Amino acid sequence: MKPVIAIVGRPNVGKSTLFNRLARRRKAIVEDQPGVTRDRNYAEVDLEGRSVLLIDTGGFEPEAKERISQQVREQVEMALEEADGILFLMDGREGLNPLDIEIAQYLRKIAKPVFYVVNKIDGERLEDQVPDFYRLGVAPIYSISAAHGRGVSDLIADVMKGLPSIPDPAEGDSTEAIRVALVGRPNVGKSSLLNRLIGRPRMIVDDAPGTTRDAIDTFFSYEGKNYIFIDTAGIRRKTKVSARLEKYTMIQALKSIERCQVAIIVLDGFQGLTEQDVRIAEFAEERGRCMLFAVNKWDLVQKDGQTSQRYVQRIHEEAKTLSYVPILFISARTGQRVKKIFPAIQQVIAETHKRVATAELNEWLQAILSRRPPPHYQNRAVKIYYATQVSVGPPTFVFFTNQPQGVDPAYQRYLTHQLRDRWGFEGTPLRLFFRHRTPSPRP
């Protein structure tokens, strides 16, 4: 399980610039005006040889001075709810700001590592600005330039030393239990579903979103198979932050997906598939996790003979790349079709460990190439000589070609679809890699 580092601070102190430098790519929009970052940005990054989840948060924009404390508290609490370490950025050019003091006062109450960082110290001549920040009564204070990289490596070295040790989950344990994460937006019925699955009230259930505070693991055995269910933690419901709450629960899902083998993405039968659901599923796909869509509250949806078919069609239209994910229509309240989740879990686990013999794979490949060869690249024919499956969980295939860079994304998607048409791989991502190889010389 990856530790989470949140970058917080008032507007225009350089949070997104630091985020981009650590992520080694321009993922966050950077402009020289406050408030550019509206939504939280996430990136999986490698720092000091350790993988972490980095979060770029929006800046604080109080509408009036009398609301400063409230605004700051809301933003900081949201940003820190799931963080294992905090980078608190301040602006060295502008000096210590009253908002900085408000944030620092709150951070003193947080039982998590906090690193106080003065940004925009682009050279030695600006180091004279740093002592003023010691008025916060904290030490050490790090001086950096996120734009130029000055001091960043020393900061990150200390950050990684100060983070708590969070062991990655083992691929298996003595019980050989399948780890299943219940993920989704607030109030879609994740805890109710868990209670129904295990047949007892393991989780508190309430209509208010955010009832579940921590990710709680529940061991359960069903028909001779062992499972560990991970119920995704929620965020406390706070006044006037409901819009931010919806976005911020993404962190919960990401952390739970890191620990699971199968992600059950719980959807609201009334609202259908939302943008956040798609983002959660895409992250699970990137991590190579098996997936199921569980459409909850189906007992309350008015139906005719075609309702479920139309629902499936709409999901496939809205998320074409996720059409391989099985869709179950359930009701956690009544128990309708909930037990079908167990065989569905077993099925996607079997699919992700499926192997295709090399001879069979290449027979299929030659048929595919004869029907639709790859398009030319830079006026040269792209030739794929053969393929082999190199691993499972998820199934991973390597294609050997004369021009790996010439196999465009559209043709890669075509090969993926053809693999699924031939062998299924329902509910599991596929990995396709293309490597260079020259043709064998003819005798």
Q: Which residue has the higher pLDDT, 167 or 281?
A: 281
**What residues form DSSP beta bridges with 361?**
none
In a domain? residue 240:
yes
The last residue of one of the domains, among 325, 351, 377, is 351
Question: Is the confidence at residue 208, as pLDDT, over 80?
Answer: no
**Looking at the structure, do residues 421 and 393 belong to the same domain, yes or no?**
yes
236 pLDDT band, cuts 50/70/90, is very low
Average pLDDT, the chain: 81
Which region among 73-77, 152-156, 430-434 has the lowest average model confidence (pLDDT)? 73-77
Question: Is the confidence at residue 390, as pLDDT, over 70?
Answer: yes
Domain, as residue range, for 382: 358-436
In a domain? residue 441:
no
List, for residues 328-386, the tens digit of each pLDDT value. Answer: 999 999 999 999 999 999 999 999 999 999 999 999 999 999 999 999 999 999 999 99
Question: Is the confidence at residue 276, as pLDDT, over 90?
Answer: no
**Looking at the structure, do residues 324 and 215 belong to the same domain, yes or no?**
yes
What is the DSSP code string of 370-431? HHSPPPPBTTB---EEEEEEEETTTTEEEEEES-GGGS-HHHHHHHHHHHHHHH--TTS--E
Which region among 185-194, 244-253, 269-278, 285-294 has the lowest average model confidence (pLDDT)? 244-253
pTM, full prediction = 0.63
pLDDT of amino acid 141: 95
**Looking at the structure, do residues 11 and 146 belong to the same domain, yes or no?**
yes
The last residue of one of the domains, among 351, 372, 388, is 351
Q: Which of 306, 253, 263, 238 is nearest to 78 (CA)?
A: 238
Q: Which residue has the higher pLDDT, 362 or 244?
A: 362
32 pLDDT band, cuts 50/70/90, is very low
Looking at residue 63, which CATH number applies to its domain? 3.40.50.300
**Looking at the structure, do residues 138 and 264 belong to the same domain, yes or no?**
no
**Looking at the structure, do residues 122 and 203 belong to the same domain, yes or no?**
no
The total domain count for the chain is 3
**Looking at the structure, do residues 318 and 183 belong to the same domain, yes or no?**
yes
In a domain? residue 167:
no
The last residue of one of the domains, among 351, 377, 398, is 351
**Looking at the structure, do residues 330 and 382 belong to the same domain, yes or no?**
no
In a domain? residue 443:
no
List, for residues 159-203, the tens digit of each pLDDT value. Answer: 999 887 765 443 444 347 899 999 888 788 888 898 888 886 544
Mean pLDDT for the stretch of residues 143-166: 90
**Looking at the structure, do residues 367 and 325 belong to the same domain, yes or no?**
no
pLDDT of amino acid 279: 84
**Looking at the structure, do residues 362 and 345 belong to the same domain, yes or no?**
no
d(CA 158, CA 372): 54
**Looking at the structure, do residues 143 and 32 belong to the same domain, yes or no?**
yes
**Looking at the structure, do residues 71 and 151 belong to the same domain, yes or no?**
yes
> For residue 248, how many C-alpha atoms fall within 13 Å in the half-sphere facing its CB?
28
280 pLDDT band, cuts 50/70/90, is confident
In a domain? residue 234:
yes
pLDDT of amino acid 259: 82
Looking at residue 405, which CATH number applies to its domain? 3.30.300.20
d(CA 280, CA 400): 32
Which region among 59-63, 188-192, 291-295, 438-442 has the lowest average model confidence (pLDDT)? 59-63
pLDDT of amino acid 242: 45
pLDDT of amino acid 239: 39
In a domain? residue 442:
no
Mean pLDDT for the stretch of residues 407-432: 96
pLDDT of amino acid 59: 67
**Looking at the structure, do residues 222 and 268 belong to the same domain, yes or no?**
yes
In a domain? residue 205:
yes
Query: Maximum Cα–Cα distance for the chain, whole Å?
Result: 85
DSSP 221: E
pLDDT of amino acid 109: 85
In a domain? residue 172:
no
Mean pLDDT for the stretch of residues 238-259: 58
